[in-house]
Structure 1
Amino acid sequence: MKRRNFIKLAGFAAFSSVFSDASADIFSSNESDSSRPNVLLIMADDCTFRDLPLYGGENAYTPNINQLASEGLVFNKAYLSEAMCLPCRSELQTGLHPISNGASWNHSKCRNDIKSAPHYLSELGYRAGLTGKRHIRPKSAFPFDYIEGFDQKCVRNPTQPHDTQYIRRYMEDDSSPFYLSVCLVEPHAPWVMGDASRYPADQLKLPPNMADTQETRDNFSKYLAEITYMDSQVGDILEALEQSGKADNTLVLFSSEQGSKFPGNKWTNWDTGLHTALIARWPGVAPVNKRTEAMVQYCDFLPTIIELAGGNPEELEFDGKSFLDVIKGNTNKHRDYVFGIHNNVPEGPQYPIRTVFDGQYRYIRNLCPDRLYIEKHVMGGADFWHSWVSSSYNQEDVYKLVERFTRRPAEQLYHTSEDPYEMNNLADNPDYSEIKNKLSDRLDKWMAQENDPGAPIDTMEALEAARNQNHIY
């Protein structure tokens, strides 16, 4: 185990001791429990943030998400560390980057010694519940109250109907305040829910990082229908909160998770993979119908919730830090940099990637640039990808998108604030060498801080060792 993780465990022990003594006084009064704020986290699944109207999407219909945004604070720059389900969800619930918690591959698991939200919040007198998609392991590291009502399986066809009575009962319980994660399975592929007929394929406006083929349009239509279906679930969840009588004393957080299955989003370190939607609504506390440029990352969520619950996250050595002051409207700044990684195993052969973003420019380092990038879910069975390849022989613009996805240089630099889909690589432009070198140096320091060995960790040997709790890195 890394030394920094021994420190984390020692910090947790001290934290537990302090609050186990204090809890008798804190919770001796029913009044203190009823007045303490609740937290409701709603998470979509594989929804590229730029496809939401809230962030400039020109196709999807999302009235409930739009309404939530009008009632709270919208984060323009929220990120996760790895654009895959298990790593990013583990990051959010542990406050640790993927290398730190052990879950730096998809379909892996955190180390057995890792603590997560239920451990910390129980010491503060909070219940921690989760319903819907889990994709966090092992169970000992995530001892949530697991609640019925939402489908757990993201690839089921069709998605099981949801029933909000279970989460409403959990919220109505007056014995203690709650932290409840409602993890939806839309719009994760297969795109089978919602009404695709409301999105005629020939009328859609495709993003510039997607090839304009009929198969792409047909699939994009189905994906947009699932976004609208997901939005209706958001509406039902918020209605259940209202029915519970707890809405006025609950911080609601909505996040879109990572980017979609379309090439260039999920499983990448481009902005459309790592950038996530984030809305914070807290009646009487958070600004209303406002936006913030403060940069936050998924590892910041748990420290924020701990501070809201009355704890001191600085006593614990999280990778993240609380952004509660941003939610309260006290500041418009949080991080100077956000970071990202990608380990391609087991989603494809070795292709490790690392990135850093400063709010304006994104630097990406491809650690094995001589290899082809291959992702089995996109390239193995997706008809839209096959249409890109078959169209590339006589359409130069499609060829460039196929090449962009499969053959990447050692370094990439994008002026993301001006080039939001990151189509223009500036890494070889001497006018940007100072910016590139500064970000490259910052990425080196972060990797050293995380004890990240780079390419050697993106192997089946390292993954299997982690699965067997015998981490070699």
Structure 2
Amino acid sequence: MITADDMNWDTPGAFGGKVADITPNIDRLASEGMRFLRAHVTVAVCQPSRSVWMTGRYPHRNGAEGFQPIRPDVPTLQERLHAAGYLNGIMGKTEHLAPREKFCWDSFVTAAELGQGRDPQLYYHHAKAFFQKAKAEGKPFFLMANSHDPHRPFAGSAQELKAFKKHLDFTRQIKPEEAVVPGFLPDIPDVRKEVAEYLTSAHRCDQTVGQLLRALRESGFDSNTIVMFLSDNGMAFPFAKTNCYLNSTRTPWIVRWPGVVKPKSVDQDHFISGIDFTPTVLDALGLPPLPDVDGKSFVSLLKGGSDPGRDRVITVFHETSARQRYEMRCIQNRRYGYIFNAWSDGKRVFRNESQSGLTFNAMKAAAESDKAIAERVRMFLYRTPEEFYDFESDPDALDNLIAQPSLRKEIEHLRRELLAWMQAKGDPLEPIFRKHLS
């Protein structure tokens, strides 16, 4: 399992990224397996997202709604693999799966041992050692290799210099004129500059992916190892990470399974999400499923089949890394997305890490003379209790259609679907949402 940290779904070239050769290794991996174009994480922030992956449960059912450990009674993928004789390893983001004893790590490599989680060669070195250990002990293995790119601080940025007291190495610097600014952000100079820094980090992440795959290949495990790549959430910019927009949770999920998954496969119809990771891995390995999970295996899709039940996805948000609660829920189908912002009352102000860099400060400055940008800033800070988007025509969520009379039927349908999910899953937000609807 190879993960990117805060990589937007459409950054890799294989998923539509427009910067030439930004992710050649990820693109090659995609050509050797299956790309999922409707893949989502369940919650768009680091530790909760990763805790969902390893338990198959929504955050309110595993205990890690924010940056907390999962509950002791919640079983994990690693416990099941350990019991089956697997060697478990983790590289980077080690503190984001807790408590440590629930994950049965046989190999534990911290970010400090990996050049702040941003040195591709160190990932190669430690991955090679892990694979050699598995070979020497004659054990099957699970390796979770987590890049810290392209998480803030970005490569070459002032934030990086402040955080690490130096600029970390990179081999290709994306220039502002090369960058493509996402549609949910205004294309103004400092935004373009920071997007370029993000893309420089994304390229370094791709190099880490390449070095990890090189270590796997050189160790002789290339042909009998399932490889999955995905990001834990969207990019750390306004209207992406730590929210419930399409660009918050959509993820570039790739699966390479030699002899099973047809190369160059693309699934553009089925929704898969973070809760499905553990059920899928255990199904693929022929191991017993964990009890009481919320997700389900998508092995049938990997084998070329279909699943008519995968026509929607539920995503959630609870709290930021600063422990500030901003309860949000989203339900989306192939066309529409409905978001409930329980925290939005017209007075409370939204705060997250994306406001610390160049982009949001530039947006605030531009808002003084640009009414359109001023409205985007206001929307980001205060929201509205309900949002409704046609993600088919408006994937950047620029036009809130919640008051559109012609869409009342679709809005009511998704409201009812979300309420039914809340009731079925025991969501603590259900009474608040029910009161809002009444």
The answer on 1:290 being equivalent to 2:253 is no
Q: 1:180 to 1:452 in 2, by over 3 A?
A: same
Give the structure-2-normalised TM-score.
0.88
Q: State the SS of the aligned residue for 1:302.
A: helix
Residue among 11, 15, 18 paired with 1:58:
18
Is 1:207 the counterpart of 2:178? The answer is no
Amino acid at match of 1:168: K
**Unmatched segments (≥5 aa) in structure 2:** 156-167, 433-438
Task: From the superposition, tell whether residues 86 and 348 of structure 1 become closer, same or farther in structure 2 (CA, over 3 Å).
Answer: closer
SS in 2 for 1:363: strand
2:140 is matched with 177
Match of 2:233 in 1: 258
1:164 counterpart (102, 116, 124): 124
Aligned to 1:139: 100
Alignment of 1:441 with 2:416, yes or no, is yes
TM-score where L is the length of structure 1: 0.82
Secondary structure (helix, strand or coil) at the match of 2:10 reads: helix
Change (3 A) 1:161 1:355: same
Question: Cα RMSD over matched residues?
Answer: 2.4
Q: Give deviations 1:298-326, integer Å, cap 9, x for gaps.
A: 1111111111121242x722111111111
Which whole-Å CA distance do the structure 1 matches of 2:304 and 2:117 have between them? 42
How big is each residue's C-alpha offset from its partner over 1:197-232, in whole Å with a ceiling of 9 and x where there is no partner?
Answer: 742213432111112232211111111001000001
Distance 1:98 1:155 in 2: 30
CA deviation string 1:58-116 (max 9, x = no partner): 126111111111111000011111111000000001111101101011x2121122221
The Cα of 1:196 is off from its aligned counterpart by 8.5
Match of 1:365, SS? strand
Give aligned-pair identity as a percent.
28
1:70 matched to 2:31? The reply is yes
TM-aligned CA distance change 1:271 to 1:373, over 3 Å: farther
Match of 1:103 among 43, 54, 64: 64
- Code of the residue aligned with 1:451 in structure 2: it is G
Number of matched pairs: 413
The equivalent of 1:25 in structure 2 is none
Contact 1:362 1:414 in 2 (8 A): yes
Separation (CA, whole Å) in 2 of partners of 1:194 and 1:204: 20
Distance 2:139 2:114 in 1: 31
Aligned counterpart in structure 1 of residue 151 of structure 2, from 184, 188, 208:
188
Change (3 A) 1:338 1:296: same
Structure 1 residue runs of 5 or longer lacking an equivalent are: 1-40, 458-473
The 1:346–1:184 alpha-carbon spacing in structure 2 relative to 1, beyond 3 Å, is closer
Task: Classify the secondary structure of the residue corresponding to 2:195.
Answer: helix
Distance in 1 of aligned mates of 2:287 and 2:233: 29
Residue identity matched to 1:311? L
Q: 1:353 to 1:454 in 2, by over 3 A?
A: same
**Residues 117 and 148, structure 2, Cα contact 8 Å, conserved in 1:** no
Q: State the one-letter code of the partner of 1:305.
A: V
Superposition deviation, residue 248 in structure 1: 0.7
Cα deviation for residue 376 of structure 1 reads 3.9
CA contact (8 A) 2:40 2:274 kept: yes
For residue 55 of structure 1, what is the amino acid of its counterpart?
A: F
The residue type equivalent to 1:302 in the other structure is T
Task: Say if 2:365 is the partner of 1:390.
Answer: yes
Residue from 25, 29, 40 that aligns with 1:79 = 40
- Distance of aligned partners of 1:92 and 1:152 in 2 relative to their CA distance in 1, 3 Å threshold: farther
Matched, 1:232 2:207: yes
- Write the mapping of 1:32-431 to structure 2, written as runs, cut at 5 A: 41-59=1-19, 61-105=22-66, 107-134=67-94, 135-148=96-109, 151=111, 156=116, 162-172=122-132, 173-174=134-135, 175-192=138-155, 193=168, 195=170, 198-292=173-267, 293-313=269-289, 316-331=291-306, 333=308, 335-344=310-319, 347=322, 349-370=324-345, 371-379=347-355, 381-431=356-406
Whether the aligned pair in 1 keeps the contact of 2:55 and 2:62 (CA below 8 Å) is yes
Q: Which residue of 2 aligns with 1:462?
A: none
**Alpha-carbon distance, 1:153 to partner:** 8.8
Aligned amino acid, residue 366 of structure 2: S
Q: Which letter maps to 1:367?
A: A
Instruction: Answer yes or no: is the 8 Å Cα contact 2:350–2:382 preserved in 1.
Output: no
- CA distance, structure 1, for counterparts of residue 379 and residue 13 of structure 2: 26
